[in-house]
Structure 1
Amino acid sequence: MGEYSLVLLSGGVGKRMKLDMPKQFLLLAGKPLFVHVLEKVDRLQVVKEIIMPCPSEFIEKTEEIINKYGFTTPIKCVEGGGTRQESVFKGLQAADYDNVIIHESVRPFVSEKDFMRLIETSNENAIFGLDIPFTVLRGGEVVEGNLERDELLNVQLPHKFNAKKLLYAHQCAAEDGLNFTEDASLYFHYFRSDIVVLPGSEYNIKITKPIDRILAEAIYKETILLGD
């Protein structure tokens, strides 16, 4: 099963939410979004450290909140990058273990079971994904072509990877000037190796837009009823 570092991305600045603070500080049931994630990760014995890339001006605030909740897993806040990719790269550089899990602070509905399914998967590289239930076309102001929905995947986090290989792929991407929106596509670009896809959950939403806050409250109430 191995031992893991977990990089918890906390670099968002809340532009789409129209906020004056990073959206990971938004409250859900009285707690910041990232605290909901940390509470679950803290119970995973194979996760030996958590690295949180944050905006430099919010590191102190993040550390104050972490200390308030008394987590037992060591947590390191590091300065994030200007892009998601740069933040992952910085998090990987601070990681001490051979395996790494990548997750986002604004996905608070990930469950312990989700993490364990990922960890217990025999392949060292694995992600969660969902089928796309709607039609997708290629184009901008005009339609330029069709895409085969059955060949597409809605990528969810968390992901897990061999930490050294993912770090190498990030180094290559930085040298090549390539930018990726998540790590499975980056890793695949350089290694072309197997990345196992596990069935994701419709509850595991990323809170990005104002409407997501309404959805989050509804999901939270339902998950409490379900005991998850």
Structure 2
Amino acid sequence: MPNSVGVVIVAAGRGTRMGTAESKQYLLLQGKPIIVHTLEVFQRHPLISEIVLVTGEEDVERCQEWIITYKLGKVAAVVAGGSERQHSVYRGLGNLGTTWVMVHDGVRPFVQEKEITACYERAREIGASVLAVPVKDTIKQVNTEGKVLSTPDRRSLWAIQTPQTFRLSELLNAYKEAERDGFLGTDDSSLAERSGIPVAVVEGSYGNIKITTPEDLDFAEFTQRNRGEVQT
């Protein structure tokens, strides 16, 4: 299908900021692993035909069990990630057969259906898109000694979120170029930009948080309760 859309959901990290023995993506939110909440958003979305979940090698089996338990039929593969996020995404891309691909953080369970749709539509218009929000705080550029160098105009600054959307073939080429040159980017769009792919920003919501700290988890519990989406 010429406009088929797949998703690579990245959940291979083992962040330490949460302060728990369990990886953040597998902590329970309203009785269900965070990663399952995230997968369900894309499972429900009518645009999405295929999902690839990238996780730690030691977590593949339990994730496969959750796919069955929670009836996540769009998940085509659960694959083990690499040492860096970029390597993990690259492995995920190789397991997709769609024309378009979205790359999404496994610990962003509150992305909305309309945001996913908007990202896809903007990518079709421009070439690629990233979900983002305007920066609310004043930002200072500081040197290694802690001295302020400049104060950028925050009207030009956006905090980048996910999903990020690309033509699969173009993103794969960008990844191949990065691997060839030994380039490690901060996100997928940085590889696309480097490869000459035009990338547009789609305004998202401040509620599309990345759950990385205990405070984030508290906020996520509050958000989930207020949404009235508790599922058992």
Q: Is the 8 A contact 1:137 1:147 kept in 2?
A: yes
Amino acid at match of 1:36: H
Contact 2:53 2:75 in 1 (8 A): no
Deviation at 1:144? 4.3
Q: Which runs of 5+ in 2 are unaligned?
A: none
Partner of 1:197: helix, strand, or coil? Answer: strand
1:30 shift after superposition: 0.9
Please give the alpha-carbon distance, in whole angstroms, between the structure 2 residues aligned to 1:165 and 1:35. 29
2:191 aligned with 1:190, yes or no?
no
Which one of 210, 215, 225 corresponds to residue 211 of structure 1? 215
The residue type paired with residue 133 of structure 1 is: K
1:74 maps to what in 2?
Answer: 75
1:46 CA drift (Å): 2.9
Write the distance in 2 (CA, Å) between the matches of 1:76 and 1:141: 47
- Aligned partners of 1:115 and 1:176: how far apart in 2? 31
Measured in 1, the distance between the counterparts of 2:45 and 2:204 equals 19
2:169 counterpart of 1:168:
no
Q: Identity, % of aligned pairs?
A: 33
TM-score, structure 2 as length reference = 0.90
Q: Equivalent residue of 1:42, what SS? A: helix
Code of the aligned partner of 2:164: H
Q: How many residues align?
A: 224
SS at structure 2 position matched to 1:154? strand
Q: Does 1:41 align with 2:55?
A: no
Find the counterpart in structure 1 of residue 54 from structure 2: 53
CA contact (8 A) 2:41 2:109 kept: no
- The one of 100, 120, 129 equivalent to 1:126 is 129
Match of 1:85 in 2: 86
Deviation string for 1:29-85 (max 9, x for gaps)? 111111112212112233221111111011001111111111221331011011111
